[in-house]
């Protein structure tokens, strides 16, 4: 997960100004919070955490902050939430996720009410789900899976994804919906033609064998596989294609999957064509993520396609870097839409030989999320832990501090408060933040004056599944 606080904004409540910190997650705006809200969260995390390995939380100040002090606080808060977001401590993660969900509701002024959500399978089949507008992703997933009779034990082998319909009619994966957000709010506040769809969320094809014994799970895997073959994500020769067509015509889903599982790139996610500095600068590549690797199909001179696989267990670390074009005007500094994104990873090419490889893609953050989920799955298998079950929610509560300083008790389990955040308890209203990437930021003027571009690297993500190898293993 990639947490950042790329900018601040001036807000007010009850006529009093304050500084809001805009939290972005996986490249998307998520919420705006005050320093005192994060301070309150940090105090509760300190009480539930058995370890004290988080960065120091920036101290309170008596006097108003100078621009330099504000920038220092922004950087410290960003470092803190990045560390908390990468924690494997279950109570800490549940507390943090519940905070983010409630902050999303407060920031978007979304009134809690019953709404109808359309959740689709990959063949276009629609599941109509009735939920609260602030229900978290896993709760919505459970409701959708219940309607198609998927056993609870198999629910979390799947996830909700936002898929975007491109101008050419193709569907591309925009991002995976996380459990710290409301699918209703996220879909509503992201521009574009987006659909909520169910896809499997594991990488090891060995899990297929168990799921294929259940009728509902088998059907989910089948419709996704048919879709991926039709889109060219799974490579399929003419003879195999004819066999699959024959199996499909007679409804032999199990046999269809058995054959499809033997094909190259089965279970992979394919990204849009992009640019990589490997093997040479500005190489055009088609990247797929699956099982335990990133696969690069490299467009070589003469039309020849070469392949290179990068094993996740040989990636020591990775990071995302955002390159923003900046426009200076007399009044303000404006970040342009659609910043350039780089995914860079340090790869063990040979014994004692690490090399940085950089991919430039609008889907760089999605690639990084895939890498992290592959690592998480490897660690789950290594520790012999099972997949999360619907009953695994923590049933405790936490105290959420609103922007106006008032507090309320929020359940950690399913959704945030049943209250509305369209107004505070004292009647003070909030100004909704813009969720588009373009933002005017007077606060950044001092530090960006004279620059035409700025590159902002994320914190390095260390790979807990990294394995040292020797030359004989290459």
Per-residue pLDDT 10s for the chain (474 aa) are: 788 898 898 888 777 888 999 999 887 899 999 999 999 999 999 888 876 778 889 988 888 888 899 999 999 999 999 999 888 788 888 899 999 999 999 999 988 899 999 999 999 999 999 999 999 999 999 999 999 999 999 999 999 999 988 877 788 899 899 999 999 999 998 877 899 999 999 999 999 999 999 999 999 999 999 999 999 999 999 999 999 999 999 999 999 999 999 999 999 999 999 999 999 999 999 999 998 999 999 987 777 789 999 999 999 999 888 876 555 555 555 545 566 889 999 999 888 899 999 999 999 999 999 998 999 899 888 877 766 666 555 567 888 888 888 888 887 765 444 444 443 333 333 333 333 333 333 332 233 333 334 555 555 667 666 765 544 444
Domain CATH code at residue 320 = 2.30.29.30
Which residue range(s) make up the domain with 174? 114-260
Same domain, 305 and 320: yes
152 and 247 housed in the same domain: yes
Number of domains in the chain: 3
How far is 457 from 378, CA to CA, in rounded Å?
26
- Shared domain for 27 and 97, answered yes or no, is yes
Regarding whether 290 and 207 lie in a shared domain, the answer is no
Contact 275, 360 (CB under 8 A): yes
Last residue of a domain, one of 76, 109, 142: 109
Average pLDDT of the chain?
83
Residue 392 confidence (pLDDT): 59
The answer as to whether 367 is a domain residue is: yes
- 301 and 373 housed in the same domain: yes
Where a domain ends, among 260, 279, 312?
260
Do both 157 and 234 map to the same domain?
A: yes
| CATH (domain of 238) | 3.10.20.90
Other C-beta atoms lying within 10 Å of the C-beta of residue 152: 12
Q: Does the residue 395 lie in any domain?
A: no
Please tell me whether residues 103 and 214 are part of one structural domain: no
In a domain, 390, yes or no: no
CATH number, residue 47: 3.30.1520.10
Burial of 259 (C-beta count, 10 Å sphere; 0-12/13-18/19+): middle
Same domain, 191 and 79: no
Task: Flag whether 412 is in a domain.
Answer: no
Three-class HEC string of the chain: CCEEEEEEEEEEECCEEEEEEEEEECCEEEEEECHHHHHHHHHHHHHHCCCCCCCCCCCCCCCCCCHHHHHHHHHHHHHHHHHHHCCCCHHHHHHHHHHHHHHHHHHHCCCCCEEEEEEECCCCCEEEEEEECCECHHHHHHHHHHHCCCCHHHHHHEEEEEEEECCCCCEEEEEECCCCCCHHHHHHHCCCCEEEEEEECCCCCHHHHHHCCCHHHHHHHHHHHHHHHHCCCCCCCHHHHHHHHHHHHCCCHHHHHHHHCCCCCCCCEECCCEEECCCCCCEEEEEEEECCEEEEEEECHHHCEEEEEEEHHHEEEEEEEEEEEEEECCCCEEECCCCEEEEEEEEEEECCEEEEEEEECCCHHHHHHHHHHHHHHHHHHHCCCCCCCHHHCCCCEEEEECCCCCEEEEECCCECCCCCCCCCCCCCCCCCCCCCCCEECHHHHHHHCCCCEEEEECCCEECCCCCCCCHHHC
Does residue 436 sit within a domain? no
Q: 238-249 and 253-260 are packed helices; what angle lies between their axes, rounded to 10 degrees? A: 160
Cα 107–chain centre separation:
19
In a domain, 191, yes or no: yes
State the pLDDT at residue 411.
Answer: 77
177, 193: one domain: yes
Residues 154, 255: one domain? Answer: yes
Q: What six digits make up the tokens of 216?
A: 């509902």
Indicate the length of the chain as a whole number: 474
Check whether residue 345 and residue 467 sit in a common domain.
Answer: yes
Domain assignment present for 255: yes
So what's the pLDDT on residue 332?
Answer: 53
In contact, 323 and 314? CB cutoff 8 Å: no
Instruction: Give the pLDDT score at 247.
Output: 97
Indicate whether 439 belongs to any domain.
no
Assess whether 124 and 217 both reside in one domain.
Answer: yes
């Amino acid at each position: 997960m990639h947490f950042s606080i790329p900018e601040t904004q001036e807000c007010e409540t009850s006529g009093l100004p304050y500084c809001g910190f805009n939290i972005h997650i996986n490249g998307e705006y998520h919420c705006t919070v005050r320093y005192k809200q994060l301070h309150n969260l940090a105090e509760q995390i300190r009480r539930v955490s058995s370890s004290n390995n988080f960065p120091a939380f920036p101290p309170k100040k008596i006097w108003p902050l100078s621009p330099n002090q504000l920038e220092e606080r922004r950087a410290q808060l960003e470092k803190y939430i990045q560390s908390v977001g990468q924690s494997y401590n279950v109570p800490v993660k549940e507390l943090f996720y519940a905070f983010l969900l409630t902050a999303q509701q407060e920031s978007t002024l979304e009134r809690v009410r019953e709404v109808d959500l359309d959740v689709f399978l990959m063949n276009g089949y629609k599941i109509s789900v009735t939920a609260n507008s602030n229900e978290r992703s896993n709760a919505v997933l459970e409701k959708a899976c219940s309607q198609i009779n998927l056993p609870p034990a198999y629910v979390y082998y799947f996830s909700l994804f936002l898929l975007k319909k491109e101008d050419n009619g193709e569907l591309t994966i925009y991002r995976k919906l996380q459990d710290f957000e409301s699918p209703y709010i996220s879909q509503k506040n992201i521009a574009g033609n987006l659909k909520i769809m169910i896809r499997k969320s594991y990488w090891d094809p060995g899990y297929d064998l168990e799921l294929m014994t259940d009728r509902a799970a088998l059907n989910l895997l089948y419709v996704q596989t048919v879709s991926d073959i039709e889109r060219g994500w799974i490579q399929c020769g003419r003879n195999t294609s004819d066999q699959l067509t024959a199996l499909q015509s007679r409804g032999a889903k199990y046999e269809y999957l058995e054959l499809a599982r033997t094909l190259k790139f089965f279970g992979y996610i394919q990204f849009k064509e992009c640019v990589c500095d490997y093997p040479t600068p500005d190489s055009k590549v088609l990247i797929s993520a699956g099982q335990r690797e990133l696969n690069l199909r490299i467009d070589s001179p003469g039309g020849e396609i070469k392949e290179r696989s990068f094993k996740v267990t040989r990636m020591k670390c990775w990071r995302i870097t955002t390159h923003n074009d900046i426009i200076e005007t007399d009044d303000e500094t404006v970040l342009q839409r659609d910043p350039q994104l780089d995914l860079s990873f340090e790869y063990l090419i040979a014994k004692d030989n690490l090399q940085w490889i950089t991919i430039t893609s609008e889907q760089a953050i999605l690639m990084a999320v895939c890498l992290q989920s592959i690592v998480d799955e490897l660690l789950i298998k290594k520790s012999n832990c099972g997949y999360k079950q619907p009953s695994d929610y923590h049933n405790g509560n936490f105290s959420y501090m609103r922007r106006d300083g008032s507090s309320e008790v929020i359940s950690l389990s399913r959704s945030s408060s049943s209250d509305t955040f369209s107004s505070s308890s004292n009647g003070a209203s909030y100004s909704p933040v813009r969720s588009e990437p373009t933002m005017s930021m007077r606060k950044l003027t001092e530090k960006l004056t004279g620059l035409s571009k700025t590159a902002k690297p994320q914190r390095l993500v260390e790979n807990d599944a990294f394995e040292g190898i020797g030359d004989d293993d290459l």
